[in-house]
Amino acid sequence: MHHKIRFIRAGQVEEIDNCNPTQTVLEYLREEKGLTGTKEGCAEGDCGACTVVVGELYSDGIRYRAVNSCIQFLATLDGRQLITVEDLATPESGLHPVQQAMVDQHGSQCGFCTPGFVMSLFAMFHHERESAVKAVDIDLELAGNLCRCTGYAPIVRAAEQALTPGRSDLLSDNITQQLRQLKAIQPINSLETGAGDRLFFTPRTLDELCTTLQKHPRATLVAGATDVGLWVTKQMRRLDSIIYLGGVGELGRIRDDGHGLELGAAVSYTDAIEPISKYYPAFRSLMERIGAKQVRNVGTVGGNIANGSPIGDMPPGLIAAGARLTLCSKAGRRVMDLEDFFIRYGVQDLQQGEFVECLYLPAPEPDQVFATYKISKRIEQDISAVCAAFALKIKGGRIKDARVCFGGMAEIPKRASHCERSLEGRTWNQQSIEMAMTALADDFTPINDMRASRTYRMRVAQNLLQRFYLEQLDLQYPVRLTSKFGQAVSDG
């Protein structure tokens, strides 16, 4: 066990003893180090002004990812590299190419969001450096950085200027040294830091996690902290101890057994998109709209389930696909259908000392048609008003089996049993869909809130079923918005 967190910043190893378990990276930068280049715009991970880049060892290199420092706990940096806007330009080399491009293209006006954009662009700079950036990818990668002045046009131009094929910078030129530094600070055992009754643990094995949780039953489990971070910054909650799941090797595993996918609870959305989309292509466009890049880089599918939100975007699709959940504790394991995990608002079938270990997503069955949709006020980086998922087995023009699940329609992600019963056994045609749309009204009594009214929720839920049907037909006209860049949207 070690007690000091160590990470690389500005080429040096930073060592911190008795780290406050809920101190954020942003607080550390601005308040302790006086590094005020990184800004606080919202303190909830939704504006990107605080974006920093975290480097970590990955296969035989370093992976750089943009994260929101305002809700990232400092102690999660143990064994990693922290790069901030202050680190990019040097007196010798001048501005970094992404910074220079932002200047050349007039990408800043008030300048407050600019450091965040620069860091997102910097992360993009180090991603697939052999190829030029595509316009659609710029939208995806920058969705988590809000700018109120420019309307984004010059920032997109800056991205296009800087992100050319074969690009390099000081960091990529000195990768060996960075690797050496990072390797030297890799934790070989678990971390316990903090003081008094406020401790931060990073266990490294499932066993250690079970033991730590048993010893500290009131501790809060944290993976990406994209939700828990807000308890601290918004609700001002004084959390006792934190157990960070990002160091537990087993929880970070993705296993494909050919019949399905096992996803450890601490696998980030970013890492889960590819393997999940391999089995269920429809998940890609949904997952690319969960939070934004900074959130997906740390937020996890397991966390999205464990926090029991009625508007989480993954559960409807996972439930429709028949996913199973494994819970683990010192006492052993429990495996259940994911839908049984959600009991009522804020209550999940999770006992003390128990945690979500992994999720098993079975491959689609033969003849299964699957789709999952998200409806929100803004297309990118918004929380769902309604999230829908449909998994229908259709054989010989008949619906053999229907699994229909919604988020945002009830206090938990919930299957639409009337709708399912209405579909099952019927002919796969417009009439059956219309009957099922009517039946759906018996399944839910959604709420009115700031995201949508009850009426809209029901209406759009019904219409999504209509869309699902139309999408399976070989129509000559589009049934979803086409790409703003002119090509048709390509997803399931």
398's enclosing H/E stretch is strand 398-407
Stretch 43-72 residues interacting with other proteins (CB under 8 A): 43-44, 46-47, 49
Degrees to nearest 5, angle at CA 130 with 127 and 133 = 60
Residue from 41, 203, 303, 308 binding other proteins (CB under 8 A): 41
Minimal distance in Å, beta carbon 433 to other proteins?
Answer: 9
- Do the beta carbons of residue 28 and residue 76 sit within 8 Å? no
Residue from 396, 474, 481, 490 binding other proteins (CB under 8 A): 481
Query: Per CB under 8 A, does 337 bind other proteins?
Result: no
Binding mask 91-110 for other proteins (x = CB under 8 A): ----x---xx-xxx-xxxxx
Minimal distance in Å, beta carbon 78 to other proteins?
Answer: 23
User: Which residue in this structure is represented by tokens 């139309």?
Assistant: 470
Minimal distance in Å, beta carbon 437 to other proteins?
Answer: 9
Going through 349-385 in order, the beta strands assigned E by DSSP cover 355-362, 368-375
How far, CA to CA in Å, does 269 sit from each of 145, 169, 292, 396? Answer: 18, 28, 10, 36
Query: Per CB under 8 A, does 440 bind other proteins?
Result: no
- Do the beta carbons of residue 22 and residue 32 sit within 8 Å? no
Residue from 1, 153, 195, 331 binding other proteins (CB under 8 A): 153
Q: How far is the C-alpha of 492 from the C-alpha of 282, rounded, in Å? A: 4
Residue from 148, 255, 344, 395 binding other proteins (CB under 8 A): 148
Stretch 346-375 residues interacting with other proteins (CB under 8 A): 375
Query: Per CB under 8 A, does 34 bind other proteins?
Result: yes
Q: How far is the C-alpha of 173 from the C-alpha of 192, rounded, in Å? A: 35
Query: Per CB under 8 A, does 381 bind other proteins?
Result: yes
Query: Per CB under 8 A, does 36 bind other proteins?
Result: yes
Q: How far is the C-alpha of 71 from the C-alpha of 367, rounded, in Å? A: 43
Query: Per CB under 8 A, does 447 bind other proteins?
Result: no
Query: Per CB under 8 A, does 430 bind other proteins?
Result: yes
Give the residue with the Cβ less far from other proteins, 154 or 252: 154
Reduce the DSSP state of residue 13 to 3 states and report it. Answer: strand
Q: How far is the C-alpha of 287 from the C-alpha of 245, rounded, in Å? A: 21
- Residue 91 Rama label (left phi>0; alpha psi -120 to 50; beta): alpha
Give the residue with the Cβ less far from other proteins, 35 or 223: 35
Query: Per CB under 8 A, does 196 bind other proteins?
Result: no
Stretch 206-265 residues interacting with other proteins (CB under 8 A): 234, 236
Residue from 138, 209, 320, 338 binding other proteins (CB under 8 A): 138
- Do the beta carbons of residue 17 and residue 195 sit within 8 Å? no
Which residue(s) pair with 360 in the sheet? 262, 324
Reduce the DSSP state of residue 482 to 3 states and report it. Answer: coil
Residue from 74, 82, 142, 392 binding other proteins (CB under 8 A): 142
Give the residue with the Cβ less far from other proteins, 86 or 424: 86
